[in-house]
């Protein structure tokens, strides 16, 4: 990152100055000279990438200035993991630019964000302790696969308040994004939406352990549920279920319960809502129902 801040990256303008290239035009848009602010911010290609990330609301408020100013803006006003995300996406834009210049390979904006997301996930997994409870909202709006040998289970619940039935959707995928199982359960009880989401996590954990006893991740978009699992509250009525999940985590070598955005959780969401519509259970193993195909393909890592 310091090379960016000190204008020491071999962008076209710097190469032209040293007589290495004849023209300094941006290889992507051919519209402007490729200096550091252009390559990472002003270029329409770079803008498209930033817009796909969860950083965009923060970046869109940037009043303008040099790339170093943008960097300081993220340091000053970013929250949580914004800074790390910024560095990774910037890095991924640079990799994409180089593979285009040197190998002629075009990366889509989604490819670029995905690569940053994968690096982020690998970093999180590498830095996780034995039991990793993580409540981060993932940086990218895309689903990230687990590491090789691990399984990721996404869970979601579909509830209509004040009726006495609900549905839970659970999908398990491997490191290549292959669907190992897709399940939706229709249950006839009148529970609160919070409790139903908690049950979805519990069932997801059970399924994960069945498939991959000690290395698994369960992902849910219900933040309050993840929080209630993280911190024991003996006064909470549902703490027994949360405790069961905590125990399952601590009995596994590398287990995590992660919070994700709703966008990332689309497959589990579709399963649950379709199940609620049909009022019957859905069970697919090593294959997927047609109504999920498009979303699963969209989630697939490149």
Residues that bind Zn ion (CB under 5 A): 26, 28-29, 43
- Cα–Cα dist 241/229, whole Å: 9
Nearest distance from residue 6's CB to Zn ion, in Å? 21
Nearest distance from residue 224's CB to Zn ion, in Å? 43
Using DSSP bridges, classify how beta strands 151-159 and 282-285 pair: parallel, antiparallel or unpaired. unpaired
Instruction: Decide whether 67 or 166 has the Cβ nearer to Zn ion.
Output: 67
Instruction: Decide whether 99 or 128 has the Cβ nearer to Zn ion.
Output: 99
Instruction: Output the CA–CA distances (angstroms, integers) from residue 141 to 85, 111, 116, in the order listed.
Output: 12, 12, 11
Of the candidates 261, 196, 270, the one whose C-alpha atom is nearest the C-alpha of residue 228 is 196
- H/E stretch holding 257 reads strand 254-259
Tokens for 225, please give them: 């549920």
Instruction: Decide whether 27 or 132 has the Cβ nearer to Zn ion.
Output: 27
Instruction: Decide whether 97 or 185 has the Cβ nearer to Zn ion.
Output: 97
Nearest distance from residue 181's CB to Zn ion, in Å? 44
Instruction: Decide whether 37 or 117 has the Cβ nearer to Zn ion.
Output: 37
Q: Identify the three-state secondary structure at position 36.
A: helix
Instruction: Decide whether 13 or 26 has the Cβ nearer to Zn ion.
Output: 26
- Which strand ranges, in their side-by-side order, compose the sheet holding 282-285? 131-134, 254-259, 215-220, 151-159, 166-173, 179-187, 282-285
Instruction: Decide whether 48 or 227 has the Cβ nearer to Zn ion.
Output: 48
Tokens 């329409």 appear where? 44
Nearest distance from residue 43's CB to Zn ion, in Å? 3
Tokens 């941006």 appear where? 26
Residues 6+ apart with CB under 8 A from 72: none
Nearest distance from residue 26's CB to Zn ion, in Å? 3
Phi, psi of 113 (to 5 degrees): -70, -40
Nearest distance from residue 92's CB to Zn ion, in Å? 16
Instruction: Output the CA–CA distances (angstroms, integers) from residue 3 to 17, 68, 127, in the order listed.
Output: 17, 11, 26
Instruction: Decide whether 45 or 246 has the Cβ nearer to Zn ion.
Output: 45
Nearest distance from residue 44's CB to Zn ion, in Å? 6
Question: Residue 28's Cα: distance from chain center in Å?
Answer: 27
Tokens for 205, please give them: 């954990």
Tokens for 129, please give them: 């302790």
For the chain, how many residues are written?
A: 302
Instruction: Decide whether 28 or 274 has the Cβ nearer to Zn ion.
Output: 28
Residue 243 CB coordination number (10 Å): 13
Nearest distance from residue 28's CB to Zn ion, in Å? 4
Nearest distance from residue 31's CB to Zn ion, in Å? 6
Q: In terms of C-beta density within 10 A (0-12 exposed, 13-18 middle, 19 or more buried), how is residue 240 classed?
A: exposed
């Amino acid at each position: 990152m310091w090379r960016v801040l000190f204008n020491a990256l071999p962008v076209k303008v710097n190469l032209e100055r040293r007589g290495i290239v004849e023209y300094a035009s941006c290889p992507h848009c051919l519209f402007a000279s490729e200096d550091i602010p252009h390559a990472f911010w002003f270029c329409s290609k770079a803008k498209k990438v930033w817009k796909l990330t969860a950083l965009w609301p923060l970046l869109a408020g940037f009043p303008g200035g040099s790339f170093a100013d943008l960097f300081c803006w993220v340091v000053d006003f970013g929250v949580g993991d914004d800074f790390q995300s910024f560095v990774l996406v910037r890095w991924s834009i640079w990799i994409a630019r180089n593979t285009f210049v040197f190998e002629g390979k075009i990366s889509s904006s989604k490819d670029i964000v995905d690569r940053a997301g994968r690096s982020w996930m690998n970093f999180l997994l590498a830095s996780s302790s034995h039991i990793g409870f993580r409540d981060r909202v993932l940086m990218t709006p895309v689903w990230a696969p687990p590491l090789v040998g691990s399984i990721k289970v996404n869970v979601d619940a579909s509830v209509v308040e004040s009726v006495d039935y609900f549905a839970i959707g659970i999908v398990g995928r491997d490191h290549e994004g292959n669907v190992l199982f897709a399940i939706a359960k229709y249950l006839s009880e009148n529970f609160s939406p919070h409790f139903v989401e908690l049950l979805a996590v519990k069932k997801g954990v059970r399924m994960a352990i069945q498939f991959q006893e000690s290395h698994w991740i369960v992902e849910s978009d219900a933040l309050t549920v993840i929080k209630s699992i993280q911190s024991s509250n003996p006064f909470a009525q549902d703490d027994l279920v949360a405790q069961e999940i905590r125990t399952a985590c601590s009995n596994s070598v590398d287990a995590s319960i992660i919070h994700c955005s709703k966008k990332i959780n689309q497959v589990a969401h579709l399963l649950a809502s379709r199940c609620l519509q049909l009022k019957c259970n859905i069970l697919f193993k090593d294959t997927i129902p047609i109504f999920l195909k498009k979303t699963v393909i969209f989630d697939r890592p490149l």
